[in-house]
Amino acid sequence: MSLLVVGTVAFDSVETPYGKEEMVVGGSAMYIGYSASYFVQDIKMVSIIGDDFSEGELNSMEDKGMNLDGIEKVKGGKSFFWAGKYHDDFNGRDTLVTDLNVLADFDPVLPQHYKDSKYIMLGNLTPDIQISVLDQLNDKPDLVMLDTMNFWINNTPDDLRKVLKRIDILTINDEEARMLSGEHALARAAAKIQAMGPYYIVIKRGEHGALLFYNDKTFFAPALLLQTLIDPTGAGDCFAGGFIGYLAKTQNLSFENMKRAIIHGSALASFCVEDFSNWNIKRLSLDQIDQRVNRFYDLTQFSLV
Ligand code: AMP
């Protein structure tokens, strides 16, 4: 099953309580692509970069099964750049810089062989680009999942509302769910966001795990208690990539399978935070992922008698 991923491929400068890294590879699509690559062989990437992006990084993405025909390279252009600094608790962060650079004028044109994709991951990026990608598909896909953040909720609220009407699953963090809905209680926030379009809402809560809402059903997945926490950047994207990658692999969109997808997404996110950039998530084995999924299972099992 092929998965189309749209999002940023970028440079990040990140400061966490553990340390600091300047101009490392980042971007929502990059993180999603790597984490989905452990479940799906055929990943079609849509993004834009400048000619400052290293060929070596692009080759590593191709080696993991990502097709880069949909990544536009702008001669003389600069790639999207984001800088952030995490608070002492690692959970909160301040965005210091968002330089759209080549993203500002991106008008994606999907290669022909992308247009029949059935699983679509609209990673964090300008909502009008997310809409344009949906408009270019030949048929209605099986599943459209979208991730967004405060930057787009604040800067492009109307376009975001438009794209929300066309998706099945929204992943969003708790603070942003409150911002988007105007509700503090997460159950009410999820209900309000559901009324905006998506059937399923996944609320990410960092070290407090993730919640899945579908009509009156709710599921909670904890986060693992990790010994090593270095850089949370990309955790949300890795979660999304693991989640939709697992769904695309299993092709089962039941609520029960969504629960398994949440656990697989959480497992990929847990690897992401153990190092800066893509350094950990590009070198995983399927065995390591299985072992981590089993740790989630052990963490949540109990008997009523
Ligand atoms: P996450 O920690 O999951 O929110 O993802 C962080 C990644 O998203 C970083 O690698 C950034 O390059 C990228 N990013 C930051 N801000 C934006 C934005 N406004 N739109 C798209 N991608 C972004």
Spacing, Cα 103 to ligand 1 middle (Å): 13
What is the average pLDDT score of the chain?
A: 96
User: Could you please report the per-residue DSSP string of 201-243?
Assistant: EEEE-GGG-EEEEETTEEEEEPPP--S-----TTHHHHHHHHH
Residues 12-17 have a mean pLDDT of 98
Residues 248-259 have a mean pLDDT of 96
Copy the structure tokens of residue 211: 């919640």
Q: Pocket around ligand 1: residues whose beta carbon is below 6 Å from it? A: 8, 10, 12, 26-28, 82, 98, 124-125, 149, 151, 233-237
Residue 72's DSSP bridge partners are 48
pLDDT at 90: 87
The amino acid at residue 127 is P
Angle made by CA atoms 233, 239, 243, in degrees to the nearest 5: 160
DSSP secondary structure letter of residue 164: H
Supply φ then ψ for residue 12, to 5 degrees. Answer: -125, 145
The residue whose CB lies within 8 Å of the most ligand 1 atoms, and thus the one to mutate among 16, 82, 146, 175, is 82
Q: Which long-range contacts (CB under 8 A, 24 or more apart) does 148-152 make?
A: 148/124, 148/172, 148/176, 149/124, 149/173, 149/176, 150/175, 150/176, 150/179, 151/95, 151/98, 152/124, 152/125, 152/126, 152/127
Q: Is pLDDT at 37 greater than 90 in this prediction?
A: yes
Sheet (strand 93-99) strand order: 20-26, 10-15, 80-86, 93-99
Q: Is pLDDT at 123 greater than 90 in this prediction?
A: yes
Residues 212-232 have a mean pLDDT of 94
Spacing, Cα 204 to ligand 1 middle (Å): 15
Residues 127-132 have a mean pLDDT of 96
Spacing, Cα 24 to ligand 1 middle (Å): 13
The residue whose CB lies within 8 Å of the most ligand 1 atoms, and thus the one to mutate among 233, 266, 278, is 233
Spacing, Cα 10 to ligand 1 middle (Å): 8
pLDDT at 282: 96
Estimate to the nearest angstrom the gap between the alpha carbon of 80 and the chain centroid: 16
Predicted confidence band at 42 (pLDDT cuts at 50, 70, 90)?
very high
Spacing, Cα 218 to ligand 1 middle (Å): 27
Q: Is pLDDT at 183 greater than 90 in this prediction?
A: yes
Instruction: Determine the atom of ligand 1 nearest the C-alpha atom of 82.
Output: 12
Burial class for 216, CB neighbours closer than 10 Å (0-12, 13-18, 19+): exposed
The span from the CA of 78 to the CA of 99, in Å, is 9
Q: Whose CA is nearest to atom 1 of ligand 1?
A: 234
Q: Whose CA is nearest to atom 20 of ligand 1?
A: 125
Residues 193-215 have a mean pLDDT of 95
Which residue has better confidence, 225 or 164?
A: 164
Estimate to the nearest angstrom the gap between the alpha carbon of 233 and the chain centroid: 11
Q: Is pLDDT at 56 greater than 90 in this prediction?
A: yes
pLDDT at 256: 96
Instruction: Determine the atom of ligand 1 nearest the C-alpha atom of 173.
Output: 4
Q: Is pLDDT at 168 greater than 90 in this prediction?
A: yes
Instruction: Determine the atom of ligand 1 nearest the C-alpha atom of 151.
Output: 19
pLDDT at 202: 97
Instruction: Determine the atom of ligand 1 nearest the C-alpha atom of 11.
Output: 12
Residues 141-167 have a mean pLDDT of 96
The amino acid at residue 269 is A
Predicted confidence band at 1 (pLDDT cuts at 50, 70, 90)?
confident
Residues 220-249 have a mean pLDDT of 95
Q: Are strands 80-86 and 93-99 parallel, antiparallel or unpaired?
A: antiparallel
Instruction: Determine the atom of ligand 1 nearest the C-alpha atom of 10.
Output: 12
